[in-house]
Amino acid sequence: MAPPKPYTLVAELSYRCPLRCPYCSNPVDIGADRYRDELEGEHWMRVFHEARALGVLQLALTGGEPMLRRDLDELVAAGRDAGLYSTLVTGATLFTRERAEQLKEAGLDHVQVSVQSPDPEENDRIAGNRSFEKKIAAARAARELGFPLTINCVLHRQNLDRIEEILQLTEELDAQRLELANTQYYGWAVVNQQALSPTREQLERGEEAVQRFRERVGPKITVLWVLPDYHEDLPKPCMGGWARTTMVIAPNGDALPCQAATTIPDLAFPNVRDRPLDWIWHEADAFTRFRGTEWMQEPCRSCPLGRQEEDWGGCRCQALRLTGDARATDPVCRFSPHHDVVVSAREPGQTDEFVYRTLRPRRRATPPLRAR
Asked if 152 touches another protein (CB under 8 A), the answer is no
Among residues 87 and 170, whose Cβ is nearest to another protein?
A: 87
Residue 67's alpha-carbon distances to 51, 188, 189, in angstroms, are: 22, 21, 23
Q: Does 172 bind another protein (CB under 8 A)?
A: no
- 280 contacts 270 by C-beta, under 8 angstroms: yes
Rounded to the nearest whole angstrom, what is the least distance from the CB of residue 227 to another protein in the complex? 19
Given the complex with another protein, which of 1 and 268 has the nearer CB atom? 1
Residue list 23-82, contact with another protein (CB under 8 A): 52-55, 57-58, 60
User: Please, are residues 73 and 61 in contact by the beta-carbon 8 Å criterion?
Assistant: no
Is residue 168 within 8 A of residue 216, CB to CB? The reply is no
Which CB atom, from 150 or from 262, has the smaller least distance to another protein? 150
Residue numbers 219-258 binding another protein by CB under 8 A: 219-220, 222
Among 98, 146, 353, 372, binds another protein (CB under 8 A): 146
Do the Cβ atoms of 52 and 84 come closer than 8 Å?
yes
Told to check if 148 binds another protein by CB under 8 A, we report yes
Q: Specify the residue, 196 or 239, whose C-beta has the smaller distance to another protein.
A: 239
Phi-psi region of 4 (alpha: psi -120 to 50; beta: other; left: phi over 0): beta
95 scored as a contact of another protein (CB under 8 A) = no
User: Which CB sits closer to another protein, 174 or 233?
Assistant: 174
Q: Which listed range, 36-44, 213-221, 275-283, 346-354, lies at the site for another protein (CB under 8 A)? A: 213-221
For another protein, the closer CB: 30 or 56: 56
Task: By CB under 8 A, name the one of 83, 237, 240, 299 that touches another protein.
Answer: 83
Cα(210)–Cα(192) distance, rounded to whole angstroms?
26
Binding of residue 85 to another protein (CB under 8 A)? yes
- Could you tell me the smallest distance in angstroms from the CB atom of residue 293 to another protein? 23
To another protein, the closest distance from the beta carbon of 245 in angstroms equals 11
From the list 5, 200, 212, 216, which residue makes contact with another protein (rule: CB under 8 A)?
Answer: 5
Q: Which of 64, 93, 100, 110 binds another protein (CB under 8 A)?
A: 110
Residue 16 neighbours by CB distance under 10 Å: 17
| Interface with another protein (CB under 8 A), residue from 25, 26, 62, 87 | 87
Nearer to another protein, 60 or 300 (CB): 60
| Interface pick for another protein out of 3, 7, 282, 308 (rule CB under 8 A) | 7
CA-wise closest residue to 111 among 209, 177, 16: 177
Does residue 243 contact residue 198 with C-beta atoms inside 8 Å? no
* Residue 272: φ, ψ to 5°: -70, -10
Comparing CB distances to another protein, the nearer of 53 and 369 is 53
Q: By CB under 8 A, is residue 213 in contact with another protein?
A: no
Q: How far, in Å, CA of 287 to CA of 290, rounded? A: 7
ω before 64 within 30° of 0 (cis)? yes
Examine residue 279 and tell whether it contacts another protein (CB under 8 A): no
Task: Tell me the number of residues near another protein by CB under 8 A.
Answer: 26
Which residue's CB is nearer to another protein, number 90 or number 158? 90
Closest approach of another protein to the CB of residue 310, in Å = 20
The footprint of another protein (CB under 8 A) covers 5, 7-8, 52-55, 57-58, 60, 83, 85, 87, 109-110, 112, 146-148, 150, 176-177, 218-220, 222
